[in-house]
Chains A and B, each alone.
Chain A
Amino acid sequence: MIRSMPEPFSPIPGLRIEGLSRRLGERSLLADLNLEVGPGECLALLGPSGCGKTTTLRLLAGLDPASCGRILLDGDDITRQDAGKRRVAMVFQSYALYPHLSVADNLALGLRIRGMAAKERDSRIASVLELLQLGELSLRRPAQLSGGQRQRVALARALLRQPRLVLLDEPMSNLDAQLREELRPELRRLLCGREQPVVYVTHDQPEAMGMADRIAVLRDGQLQQGGSARELYERPANRFVAAFLGRPAINLWPAAAGRQLGLRPEHLRPVPAGGLPARVQRREWWGNQQLFWLESAQGELRMLLPAEQELPESLQLGWQSEHEHWFDSHSGDRLPAP
């Protein structure tokens, strides 16, 4: 389970976050976060900007101090440990390559500082360069590399240290959409399934679903829900998670007794009679499917249909009750079906 109550020291492998908080003055950036990430598991922290996901990453890395709570890595409490001693590797959104050093020197700097013998250093660097197919670029400076190449160098630098924990801060947001899709499986192959836990920060929902074993959705420094992509999609814990996951976004409309009904666009269907009357406003044809924008008594609705299906201008909408999501219209929390 992703939500877990803090309990005394347990020497379990992997990453364990207990009641982690960070406040800056009056502002709470992260409040009472509890999470576990097993060895080799990839957890995506997903949320809009300012939700606390990068804050969490910086706390895990030791770049910012925690206000309270504990971080346990393989059973060791690293909450107050110096960033340089944690053996935590991080890939930054901007890659943060040293611009004055060649690719090889970028990789070598950290190892050299730790006093590793030149021979071992060179063989390690060579193997990582080969793993990431960067061999022929090793003498270039970061400015002479493409975005994708820079990202691979940043990844190489992270893997080189044989870290106990790998953190990635929006590692693909500077790449174009096509490259991002291409890199996703490669990134998974390189990072996940090794010994160390991986925490992956993104605001991109398909990326989180494609990369991670589990997803934790954050909002305003609060964990909204954690679980597999499927759990989050099929049983969102609240309205925010329901709306944040899934494109096109879920349809929400007010129902009786302070409730809100949510229906995903792919779950609406035209029915012969007895449904919700609606009119077609606009159609987006996407090739593999099509999105209809509908006008109804419940406001504007989105409906996703197979690409070949034609619709009359006026129609009735139906759905299956198992696809209904009910939320409290005030708090947004998930409610059982009435």
Chain B
Amino acid sequence: MRSLLLLWSLAPLAWQLYTSLVTPEALVQGTGVEAGAYWTLENYRQVWSAEPPIWRYLLNSAVVGAATTALTLALAVPCAYGLQRQGGRLRWAVTLTLLATAIFPTVLLFLALLQLARALGLANNLLALSLPYAALCLPLAVLLLRAAFADLPPELEDAARLEGLDLPQRLRHVLLPLLAPSLASTAILVFLFSWNEYPIALTWISRPELLTLPPAIARIAGSSLFTVPYGAFAAATVLGSLPLLLIVLIFQRSIVSGLTQGAIKG
């Protein structure tokens, strides 16, 4: 059962990796190609030496992703805290509204967003992309973090209040360290969204050196109008997945660790 599940989730990735490492002839003809012309790094060389090279897009996506994540968390933490601690009767109304916004199909928004970008002069600005991204991620981030705040025993904050810690100090020294696992998993979700987002990036950015990875990959051209550069697509996709893998691996430890253990008599 487990191996079936692994196959289910890993097979497309393996196929992608395979596609990126073989020549177009091998991809089309399979075993008919002679051994020397089968495996190749040509696809990687192509995306790496293109103008602009793929690392440029990786960098753009990383910048947008980091800005989006920082902006989202900076806004979501106070929202979630306020909603949980001061929400009162409005809490459930606000939470439901957030949920409704979180499940709203973003595709319906991007034309309106494009108008906004034009009106405010935000087109072709890499950092400005993080504004709609953060706005779209915010409902989910607030929902996740509110639940995380709700799981913290309120006495911890009371104790800190009695010791003279004001709200920013309580957040910095007591609450946020305890929320580290939730913050990390929320950050990863937001970063993933930003990393993979296509329609808004496509419509807001037109200058090639400012593209993020998804529209950039879509623009990779074949040698003629009638060839589809499968190998180059695959190579770019593999390169685009590596940073995500790295981030998840780094944050995994803080996601798993059960930091709140022992706060309350077990």
Q: How far is the CB of A297 from chain B (nearest CB, A)?
A: 48
Q: Which of B43-51, B137-145, B152-160, B213-221 contacts A (4 or more CB under 8 A)?
A: B152-160
**Contact B159 A92, beta carbon cutoff 8 Å:** yes
**Contact A142 B165, beta carbon cutoff 8 Å:** no
Q: How far is the CB of A104 from chain B (nearest CB, A)?
A: 15
CA–CA, A157 to B158, complex, Å? 14
Q: How far is the CB of B264 from chain A (nearest CB, A)?
A: 5
B 209-229 contacts with A by CB, 8 A: none
- With an 8 A cutoff between CB atoms, is A268 at the interface? no
Known: A90-B159, A94-B264, A142-B262. A100 touches B164 (CB 8 A): no
**Contact A96 B263, beta carbon cutoff 8 Å:** yes
- With an 8 A cutoff between CB atoms, is A179 at the interface? no
- With an 8 A cutoff between CB atoms, is B113 at the interface? no
Q: How far is the CB of A53 from chain B (nearest CB, A)?
A: 16
**Contact B178 A161, beta carbon cutoff 8 Å:** no
Q: How far is the CB of A56 from chain B (nearest CB, A)?
A: 15
Q: Which of A107-115, A123-131, A186-194, A317-325 contacts B (4 or more CB under 8 A)?
A: A107-115
**Contact B260 A61, beta carbon cutoff 8 Å:** no
A 145-191 contacts with B by CB, 8 A: 145, 147, 150, 157, 161, 174
Select one of A62, A88, A110, A147 contacting B165, CB under 8 A. Answer: A110
- With an 8 A cutoff between CB atoms, is B2 at the interface? no
**Contact A96 B262, beta carbon cutoff 8 Å:** no
**Contact A84 B263, beta carbon cutoff 8 Å:** no
**Contact A147 B169, beta carbon cutoff 8 Å:** no
- With an 8 A cutoff between CB atoms, is B207 at the interface? no
**Contact B156 A161, beta carbon cutoff 8 Å:** no
Return chain B residues, CB-CB under 8 Å to A142: 262-263
Return chain A residues, CB-CB under 8 Å to B259: 99-100
Interface membership of chain A positions 124-141, coded 1 if the CB is closer than 8 angstroms to chain B and 0 otherwise: 000000000000000001
Return chain A residues, CB-CB under 8 Å to B164: 84-85, 110, 113-114
CA–CA, A99 to B174, complex, Å? 9
Return chain A residues, CB-CB under 8 Å to B261: 99, 143
**Contact B163 A110, beta carbon cutoff 8 Å:** yes
Known: A113-B173, A147-B265, A150-B265. A94 touches B166 (CB 8 A): no
Return chain A residues, CB-CB under 8 Å to B178: 98-100
**Contact B165 A113, beta carbon cutoff 8 Å:** yes
Interface centre among B158, B159, B164, B165 (most CB of A within 10 A): B159
- With an 8 A cutoff between CB atoms, is A89 at the interface? yes
**Contact B262 A109, beta carbon cutoff 8 Å:** no
Return chain A residues, CB-CB under 8 Å to B161: 62-63, 83-84
Q: How far is the CB of A36 from chain B (nearest CB, A)?
A: 22
- With an 8 A cutoff between CB atoms, is B52 at the interface? no
**Contact A161 B163, beta carbon cutoff 8 Å:** yes
Interface membership of chain B positions 153-197, coded 1 if the CB is closer than 8 angstroms to chain A and 0 otherwise: 101101111111110010001100110000000000000000000
CA–CA, A63 to B159, complex, Å? 9
- With an 8 A cutoff between CB atoms, is A327 at the interface? no
- With an 8 A cutoff between CB atoms, is A95 at the interface? yes
CA–CA, A94 to B154, complex, Å? 10
CA–CA, A143 to B262, complex, Å? 4
**Contact A96 B159, beta carbon cutoff 8 Å:** yes
Specify the chain A residue showing the minimal Cβ separation from B157: A96
Q: How far is the CB of A321 from chain B (nearest CB, A)?
A: 48
Return chain A residues, CB-CB under 8 Å to B260: 99
Return chain A residues, CB-CB under 8 Å to B160: 98, 109-110
CA–CA, A114 to B173, complex, Å? 13
Return chain B residues, CB-CB under 8 Å to A58: 158
Specify the chain A residue showing the minimal Cβ separation from B163: A110
Specify the chain A residue showing the minimal Cβ separation from B259: A100
The 5 closest A-B pairs by CB, nearest first: A143-B262, A110-B163, A84-B164, A96-B155, A96-B159
Q: Give B contacts to A, CB under 8 Å.
A: 153, 155-156, 158-166, 169, 173-174, 177-178, 259-265
- The contact sample of 18 A-B pairs, CB cut-off 8 A, is A63-B161, A84-B163, A84-B164, A90-B158, A92-B158, A92-B159, A94-B155, A95-B264, A96-B153, A98-B156, A98-B263, A99-B260, A99-B262, A110-B163, A113-B169, A114-B164, A147-B265, A161-B163
- 18 further A-B pairs in the complex, CB-CB below 8 A; given A100-B259, A110-B164, A110-B165: A62-B161, A83-B161, A83-B162, A84-B166, A92-B158, A94-B153, A94-B264, A94-B265, A96-B155, A98-B159, A98-B173, A99-B260, A99-B263, A109-B160, A109-B165, A142-B263, A143-B262, A147-B265
